[in-house]
A and B are shown apart, each in its own frame.
Chain A
Amino acid sequence: MTYLLRRLAVFPLVMLGVSVFVFVAIRLVPGDAITAMLGTEAGMLTPAQREALTAYFGLDQNWAVQYGRWLAGLFRGDLGISVTYGQPVLDLILERFPLTLQLALMSMVIALLIGLPAGVFAAVHANRASDLIVRILAMVGQSMPNFVVALLAIFILSVGFGVLPTMGSYVHFTEDPLGNLAQMILPAFALGTAFAAAVTRITRAAMLDILSEDYVRTARSQGFSERYVIWRHALPNALIPVLTLSGVEFGYLLGGAVIVEQIFALPGLGRVVLDAILERDYALVQGVILFIAFNFMLVNLLVDLAYAALDPRIRYGNQS
């Protein structure tokens, strides 16, 4: 419990650090919202026009004042207004996040459903032809970028079969579950395959280690069935590296899978932040990055807590 509290106490500090970093970084990038919006036409503005726009975008203040205002807003739960969308940043995040969360969860489920059994299978059949095949497939899966998988899927479906998931008119799961799944399954698959390949390889390696451990041999000698030994004794311990990998990967996915969202025209968090950076929409970049950092920390915390649940030898509270 003290461990949990200690970890939670670190959250605000990290967030503050991230916020300062992002605040400065985005402002160090040349170009501002005005040139980003007007392009070469920005050269057509008269000085008075430019002044009016600068004031409108809040760029007339110095950085410290801008940051102070933003931070004060943050404590009131106000992340500022996005200049490109004309909406509160928080609303935009809450609007886009469910899609990203759903996509991350679906890819994770796909990855684990494929990766865990494949890894266990390969470890049990180690160094046989079937193991080799699984390992080659995993290698291919991991080295093929997910946007290639995405584009291939689109092309095979559109050219070969003349069908395509509905793109560009995203529906929420609550409005139309089937329509939503039809849109999400391909992107989730594209993201999940590379992830599944990684899970396969990690599971295989961890299982191989554990299958040679003493307690597994003891379990075998006690006459438990092979299946029982593998799934009940060995796998839970092999899950720890898988969990670490999944935690990190899930954290990344919650930041949005920019290219896949782009290809499948999904309005997720990744695309929002990419557009926001290109348009120098400072408030939106700051808000989304902070939110992503928060998610990352939360996922990491959950992973650490899950270790303890999986392996009784790990007990954080007793340390120090």
Chain B
Amino acid sequence: MTTFKTTALALLTTAMVTPLSAQTLDLAWSQDATGLDPHTQPGFATIRLLELMYEPLVRLDANLELQPAVAESWAFSDDGLQLTFQLDPDAMFHDGTPVTSADVAASFTRILDEETGAIARANYTSIIEIQTPDDHTVTFVLDGADAPILNGMASVNAAVVPASAIEAGTIATEVVGSGPFTLESRTPNASANLVAFDGWHGGDVAYDNIAISVLPDETALLAALRAGQADFALINDPLVATLIPQSPGLSLNTAPTLSYYVLQLNAAREPMDSLPLRQAISCAIDRQDILDAALLGEGEVTGPLTSPAYRTDPSGLFCYEQDQDRARELLAEAGYADGFTATVMAATGEPPTASSVAQVIQSQLAEVGIELEIEMQELSVYIDRWLAADFDMAVALNGGRVDPYTMYNRYWTRDGNLQGVANYIDDTLDSLMNEGRTETDPARRSEIFAEFEGHLADMSPWVWLFTGNTYTAQVEGVSGFEASPTGSLFGLVDVTLAE
């Protein structure tokens, strides 16, 4: 009798507890991933989704410091020519197979193969050989000292994928990663369902599912939070973000981003090939004023270096305080005392603030006699013209990286992929960049890049403006999320939900 009662009670409790214990985090964002192949998909939205399921060798935490992921530890050889990783023996793919050095080697071989179209390939071209002495050790042999490569590997674009999936050609269609969540179902541009992976070597996740909804309208995100339909949302529009703190029961997480707003001057075109003229533009601009008007002050005026470890007070850089008299003098020196006319292009809606930034710049430059015509363009058109350097000036929001070399070698070294877009180069920039690449002493690297930054501001090929913020918002009961300057949502693994 007692046994029966206990059993009945046990059954009853299980029945009551089970549905409660399946906790779901309802996540909403406005842009959806564009594909599932971590090596070829660079999009912000895609990376946000894939980094919950795939793992690189190392990852960056909210302070942008390197943390173990698939690798447990790592070290450069003394000459800096070998980088060796020890893999976490507990790391396991979603299909239950352990992560081995063979998977790492296969993943990097795939990334380095030009046929793959892997987007981060340029970061790893110093690798000349990958050695796998045992199942848990991988050594990358480099053609020269390459300090930034380690940070460059801390990206889901360098995810470790199963060698078997590469062979089977299923990377683009099936997600088999070693990360904290598995992909249960997905409808592109509508929804996705992630399930916490029991075998994740990084520890336990405090809830069972993430249900992702794609709500393409940013204001609908706010409505969904207010109505309790979403627990957590990724927000892009600063205007929507500033409404969050005024809504009862909602809180906003912000972090300054690494990406930066910049006014690019095409120094290969007249009259922007004149140094005093470019400097005049730099002096004519009030950066804080643009930030206040276009982004409601949500951000920080910045020099070229945006990574916290290298960031300095920009007020010491050339003409960071608006000085219109100086601007007029420099214009006269360049032979344009009466100003000149030029066009500035910006992408519509990408970022949402681009057109306002262009308008404020237009009105500020008008004060010293420079007349700007704004050309708003759809993103793909903008990008095509941008890549072809077919513009006088361009308002751009460029992505940042933790390491200044990885961030800028594409623009400011002679053989950088995007040197044709930057269209300005001198020996100082090229040599400082290459010095920074091979230097492994952090203090010395800071000096090198500070010098690089000062020189860039002096030469003003571009006018660096400010960095914005990344925003996420959550309802009461969601706690433990730490915002990262990369916009990463990996911090969701530390989140707990109230019952």
Does any Cβ of B come within 8 Å of A242's Cβ? no
Q: How far is the CA of A220 from the CA of B427 in the complex (A)?
A: 97
Known: A31-B383, A43-B417, A278-B380. Is A53-B117 also a contact (CB below 8 A)?
Answer: yes
- Mark out the residues of chain A between 35 and 60 whose CB falls within 8 Å of any chain B CB in the assembled complex: 35-46, 48-49, 52-53, 56
Tell me whether A168 is interfacial, beta carbon within 8 Å. yes
How many of chain B's residues have a CB under 8 angstroms from any CB in A?
52
Q: How far is the CA of A188 from the CA of B188 in the complex (A)?
A: 23
Closest Cβ of chain A to B102, distance in Å, is: 25
Q: Is the interface of B mostly helix, strand, loop or mixed?
A: mixed
Partner-binding segment picked from A106-114, A118-126, A151-159: A151-159
Select one of B229, B378, B383 contacting A164, CB under 8 A.
B229
**How far is it, in angstroms, between the C-alpha of A49 and the C-alpha of B120 when the chains are bound?**
12
Tell me, in angstroms, the Cα distance from A159 to B42 when the chains sit together: 36
Given the complex of chains A and B, what is the CA–CA distance between A153 and B386 in angstroms?
A: 40
Q: Which of B115, B116, B172, B213 contacts A265 (CB 8 A)?
A: B213
Measured in the bound complex, the distance between the Cα atoms of B410 and A52 in whole Å is 21
A267-B386 contact, Cβ under 8 Å, with A39-B42, A84-B34: no
CA distance A166 to B190 in the complex (A): 12
Q: Is the CB of A36 within 8 A of B380?
A: yes
> Is A170 interfacial (CB-CB < 8 Å)?
yes
Q: How far is the CB of B390 from chain A (nearest CB, A)?
A: 10
- Measured between beta carbons, the chain B residues less than 8 angstroms from A262 are 216-217
Residue contact A44 to B188, C-beta cutoff 8 Å: no
B369 within 8 A of A: no
Query: Contact string, B179-222, partner A, CB cutoff 8 A, digits 1/0?
Result: 00000000111110000000000000000000101111101100
Residues of B within 8 A of A204 (CB): none
Within 8 A of A (CB), among B85-140: 114-119, 121-122
Cα distance A31–B383 in the bound complex, in angstroms: 8
The residue in chain B whose Cβ has the minimal distance to the Cβ of A39 is B383
A226 touches B (CB below 8 Å): no
Contacting pair B211 A169 (CB below 8 A):
yes
Residues of A within 8 A of B18 (CB): none
From known contacts A86-B172, A158-B226, A167-B224, infer whether A44 and B384 are also in contact, taking CB-CB under 8 Å. Answer: no
Which residues of chain B come closer than 8 Å to A159, judged between CB atoms?
223, 226
Question: Contact between A267 and B42 (Cβ–Cβ < 8 Å)?
Answer: no
In the complex, A35 Cα to B223 Cα: how many Å? 33
The residue from B188, B214, B378, B418 contacting A168, defined by CB atoms under 8 A apart: B214
The smallest beta-carbon distance between A98 and chain B, in angstroms, is: 14
Partner of A41, one of B42, B215, B216: B42
A-side contacts of B385, CB under 8 Å: 30
Known contacts A35-B383, A44-B119, A265-B190; is-contact A168 B172 (Cβ 8 Å): no
**Do residues B421 and A43 form an inter-chain contact, with CB atoms below 8 A?**
yes
Beta-carbon nearest neighbor of A264 in chain B: B220
* A201 in contact (CB, < 8 A): no
The answer to whether A167 and B172 touch across the interface, beta carbons within 8 angstroms, is no
User: Judging by beta carbons under 8 Å apart, are A49 and B117 in contact?
Assistant: yes
Q: Which single member of A84, A85, A154 contacts B223 (CB below 8 Å)? A: A154
Taking CB atoms, residues of chain B closer than 8 Å to A48 are 114-115
Interface check A162, CB cutoff 8 A: yes
Chain A contact patch, size range: 35 or more
Beta-carbon contacts of A16-33 to B below 8 Å, as 1s and 0s?
Answer: 000000000000011110
With A and B bound together, what is the CA distance between A40 and B410 in angstroms? Answer: 12
A168 touches B227 (CB 8 A): no
Alpha-carbon distance A289/B187, docked complex (angstroms): 22
Instruction: Tell me whether A163 and B418 are in contact (CB under 8 A).
Output: no
Partner of A84, one of B35, B118, B227: B35
Residues of A within 8 A of B34 (CB): 37, 84, 279
Asked whether A265 and B214 contact (CB < 8 A) given A30-B380, A169-B191, A278-B379, the answer is yes
Contact yes or no, A85 B114, CB < 8 A: no
Q: Are B387 and A164 in contact (CB under 8 A)?
A: no
Please give me the residue from chain A that is nearest to B223 by CB atom: A158
- CB-CB under 8 A from B173, the residues of chain A are 86
B189 neighbours in A (Cβ, 8 Å): 267, 271-272, 275
User: Would you call B235 an interface residue if the criterion is a C-beta within 8 Å of the partner chain's C-beta atoms?
Assistant: no
The 7 closest A-B pairs by CB, nearest first: A168-B213, A31-B380, A164-B227, A158-B223, A48-B114, A158-B227, A267-B190
Other 4 A-B pairs with CB < 8 A, given A159-B223, A166-B229, A169-B190: A39-B42, A39-B383, A40-B387, A40-B399
Interface residues of B (CB under 8 A from A): 28, 34-35, 41-43, 114-119, 121-122, 172-173, 187-191, 211, 213-217, 219-220, 223-224, 226-229, 378-381, 383-387, 396, 398-399, 410, 417-418, 420-421
Q: Which residues of A contact B (CB under 8 A)?
A: 29-32, 35-46, 48-49, 52-53, 56, 84-86, 151, 154-155, 157-159, 162-164, 166-170, 262-265, 267, 271-272, 275, 278-280
23 contacting pairs across A/B (C-beta < 8 A): A30-B385, A35-B384, A36-B383, A37-B35, A39-B43, A40-B387, A43-B420, A45-B117, A46-B417, A49-B114, A52-B114, A52-B115, A52-B116, A56-B117, A86-B173, A154-B219, A155-B219, A158-B224, A162-B227, A168-B215, A170-B190, A267-B189, A275-B189
